[in-house]
Amino acid sequence: MIEISSSTLAIPETGDVPRHVAIIMDGNGRWATRRMLPRTAGHVRGVQAVRRIVEACGHRGVRYLTLFAFSSENWRRPAEEVSLLMRLFVRTLEKEVDRLEAQGVCLRVVGDLSAFDPHLRGLIEAAERRTAGQSALTLTIAANYGGRWDILQATRALLADRPDLAAHPEALDEAALTPWLAMAYAPEPDLFIRTGGEQRISNFLIWQLAYTELYFTDCWWPDFDAAQLDRAFTWYRGRERRFGRTSDQLRGAV
Ligand code: FPP
């Protein structure tokens, strides 16, 4: 059992291998454009990278892998690209669920799924049910997800459950809110990776990334592979995770 604790309320356990890796898979469009291909070809290649990284994380002992597949803001893209991404999502769920189950992967999808068509929602539910008993790696796909959406939906759910809080706002604390966040089942990410050269969080897990180590690489997502992942892990091992303490405290000098 992995202990789920808040990095701001207690010092989480850490190790050489991150327990939870969260990735923004950026650069699909540029990968394709550079090859004179339509942007959508980059997303198709991106699915191959997803397969590689799920497998590599499993082999390295990562327990949670969270991938940002579609943000609440991605609806602003051209309709044709949005539609391709949805079809890719459907096709990938249909094709990959057997392989995920065989690899011991438990699949979860987080985000505002009410915006998706009922067929896709049905496939998501079936894939989650089918892999629910697996525990080697929990793969979370964030789809129509936004960090602000998550904090708001959690707050609404908490207030619906605890109407007394409206009269006693001082009782509203982290411990009360976090069980309602979409990823309450996972520890906070140890390592965040963003491919594609940009250095921003883009409304990903903004609550959960409070003390996460942030790694940015110029590598485009379709080119990201196990060797690139190992490079990120080597960088991670070199970080001093202080969680607000001093280096001297960590070395036991104080
Ligand atoms: C960002 O690259 C990528 C996305 C918005 C979609 C990511 C989707 C996949 C990797 C494939 C589907 C995944 C699953 C799990 C089925 P971008 O288009 O913003 O690239 P750019 O910055 O070069 O334009």
| Residue 145 lies inside a defined structural domain of this protein | yes
Ligand 1 center–CA 53 separation, angstroms: 15
Task: Confirm if 171 and 178 have CB atoms less than 8 A apart.
Answer: no
| Residue 1 lies inside a defined structural domain of this protein | no
pLDDT tens column, 201-211? 999 999 999 99
Binding residues: 26-31, 39, 43, 71-73, 75, 77, 194, 200-202, 213
Catalytic residue, from 26, 144, 150, 190: name it: 26
Identify whether 144 is a catalytic site residue. Answer: no
Question: E-strand spans in 25-92?
Answer: 64-71
Q: Which atom of ligand 1 is nearest to the CA of 27?
A: 23
Binding residues for Mg(2+): 26, 213
Give nearest CA residue, ligand 1 atom 2: 26
| Residue 9 lies inside a defined structural domain of this protein | no
Q: Is 46 in the pocket of ligand 1 (CB under 6 A)?
A: yes
pLDDT tens column, 13-43? 888 999 999 999 999 999 999 999 999 999 9
| Residue 187 lies inside a defined structural domain of this protein | yes
Predicted local confidence at residue 136, as pLDDT: 97
Predicted local confidence at residue 254, as pLDDT: 60
| Residue 117 lies inside a defined structural domain of this protein | yes
Q: How far apart (Å, rounded) are the C-alpha atoms in residues 215 and 228?
A: 11
Could you give the number of structural domains in the chain? 1
| φ/ψ of residue 99, rounded to 5 | -60, -40
| Residue 205 lies inside a defined structural domain of this protein | yes
Whether pTM exceeds 0.85: yes
Predicted local confidence at residue 216, as pLDDT: 98
- Residue 141: CATH number of its domain: 3.40.1180.10
Given a cut of 70, the residues of the chain with pLDDT beneath it are 1-2, 253-254
Its domain, for residue 28, covers: 20-253
